[in-house]
Structure 1
């Protein structure tokens, strides 16, 4: 069980909020595979406040099962508070503040993981957001900015004091991006330093990794990012594994059937042109490692029509 303020979920496995990944179709799949708490992609505070159409579509939670957390990013306390209010009006059960994104275009504006270099500003943002919304406010952050600036413990204590009701810690510095090994020891240090639930993130690629993280760090939950690419089964398999049950890896038939359904769902929500294009990376992940995957991927990347992509996937399955 994972309890964040008034939000209680029965299992401790959550999918990471990831730009270009955690859209409505992905969230529905994650829920289907047992995740009770899911997150939106990170959403710009300014774009929300200025009523940007594309951004408001990212905030469409209609038809989704409670609870959904909305992750916002920005660097101005007032604007972040306004954005948080809009998120709650659209159904956010939690508002998550992004202090972990390493992307150069985000950090150059002092947002994402750059906030770990300006602790006082980070604390003011959390304080302002927490005071402006009736739902729990959480923070996702990294180990620190770089190897010389590892300050996750200090930032964690400060944001909790400012009103954060839970934290997610990715065990890498901003400089590492997604390379090297995640430092789970920093997660354990944060767990020991604060009185709110801490969710551990980094290097969970199979159910046994999740169990090991929970046992070695004492964290309250595990967040799975890259391990779920083309692999929503990691959620259901991990939830089962933590309950002492073993679910087998999906067959190639199951993988293709789910890939097909994922594709159709994205096209339904975003239209054929955008949907087919956005699903190319996902489909490459679904078929990775199977015979003829490279050729099928090249064919898919040239296609713009839903039916043609489905035909490639059916042919690919026949050849296995």
Structure 2
């Protein structure tokens, strides 16, 4: 077993990455049911949380069935981040994670997220302030550095461990790389193999198949992997990776029945969490991804995108089951979803 504070996880856990407008409670439940071992909330602004912004407060919601869950904060002010950590503490997640990796321009301009990568001393102070303000295990998600000239992740890992973090997740790119090029896991491996480092080190970046997960596990020796863009529309990747790690065999692609079932599960949770209007609206993008690859799906997709009543949507999903009864889905490469397409990097 692997341990983060008092949290026990299986050997080589599979983590769902925190993703804005993606990793909400309904999606986290779906990922948990399909094999995610630890999930994280969308990132939450420390400033918004302190101001009692409704949107930020709602991001603290956690379903019991998705636990263990980490709540992720971002901010660039020590006092404000510490205050937000105390608010999170009251909500009783399993851990608190600090975001030092988000490359979005608006976050970086606030001196938060990946913007903190330019000031390691500030990163350490922010982390220490959180550690001292909460009883929760504190973890960090970050990148290799700001740019190619400042890949300081080895120093960062040691210093953050020294102020009390219990685990570290590293995305194998710099902020200036954004999501371009191939993630460099060699520096993640250096952190993991550093004899001074005794906390779990998780790798993140470009994992999009069971074969790649096993290859990176063996090549880089990380304690587990965090997956983000590849599971948008394909939460089954978690179970596929776990099965492949355990048996060396690939599971068949999810069936039409499984795809429709996930649509129904997430719709039910979205209605429960967001209400009848926002719950229906927030699901529309998910249908497109879950049902991608079905021939002639356009007419059903259009109906799913336009109906405003849950009963009508469920009827369309049932019609899909009838239309594609017996249809065998083929395994195709997973495409990395650009979930930042509406948010400037």
User: TM (normalized to structure 1)?
Assistant: 0.93
Question: Does the 8 Å CA contact 2:39/2:66 hold for their aligned counterparts?
Answer: no
Q: CA deviation at 1:6?
A: 2.2
Q: CA deviation at 1:138?
A: 0.6
Cα distance change on mapping 1:292 and 1:147 into 2, 3 Å:
farther
CA offset digits 1:102-156 (Å, max 9, x no partner): 1111111011111111111110001111111122111001122223332222222
Q: Secondary structure at the match of 1:95?
A: strand
- Whole-angstrom CA distance in 2 between matches of 1:179 and 1:252: 33
Count of aligned residue pairs for this structure pair: 320
- Whole-angstrom CA distance in 1 between matches of 2:183 and 2:299: 33
Q: CA deviation at 1:31?
A: 2.1
**Structure 2 gap segments, 5+ residues each:** 325-345
Q: Secondary structure at the match of 2:144?
A: strand
- Whole-angstrom CA distance in 1 between matches of 2:161 and 2:55: 32
Q: Paired residue for 2:288?
A: 284
Cα distance change on mapping 1:303 and 1:144 into 2, 3 Å:
farther
CA offset digits 1:258-315 (Å, max 9, x no partner): 1122112111210121112211221111011221345544443334333333333333
- Whole-angstrom CA distance in 1 between matches of 2:153 and 2:271: 40
Question: Does the 8 Å CA contact 1:292/1:316 hold for their aligned counterparts?
Answer: no
- Whole-angstrom CA distance in 1 between matches of 2:318 and 2:213: 33
Question: Does the 8 Å CA contact 2:22/2:42 hold for their aligned counterparts?
Answer: yes
- Whole-angstrom CA distance in 1 between matches of 2:321 and 2:105: 39
Write the mapping of 1:48-63 to structure 2, written as runs, cut at 5 A. Answer: 48-63=49-64
Q: Secondary structure at the match of 2:42?
A: strand
Q: CA deviation at 1:245?
A: 5.8
Q: Note the aligned Cα RMSD (angstroms).
A: 1.9
Q: Paired residue for 1:221?
A: 224
Question: Does the 8 Å CA contact 1:113/1:141 hold for their aligned counterparts?
Answer: yes
Question: Does the 8 Å CA contact 1:17/1:39 hold for their aligned counterparts?
Answer: yes
Q: Paired residue for 1:9?
A: 9
Cα distance change on mapping 1:311 and 1:82 into 2, 3 Å:
same
Q: CA deviation at 1:168?
A: 0.3
**Structure 1 gap segments, 5+ residues each:** none
2:302 is the alignment partner of 1:302: no
Q: Given the alignment, which residue of 188, 203, 207 partners 1:204? A: 207
Write the mapping of 1:122-133 to structure 2, written as runs, cut at 5 A. Answer: 122-133=123-134
Q: CA deviation at 1:83?
A: 1.1
Q: CA deviation at 1:202?
A: 0.8
More off after superposition, 150-159 vs 306-315 = 306-315
CA offset digits 1:186-232 (Å, max 9, x no partner): 21122123221101111111212211111111110111111111222
User: TM (normalized to structure 2)?
Assistant: 0.87
Question: Does the 8 Å CA contact 1:2/1:221 hold for their aligned counterparts?
Answer: no
Question: Does the 8 Å CA contact 2:145/2:153 hold for their aligned counterparts?
Answer: yes
Q: Secondary structure at the match of 1:163?
A: coil
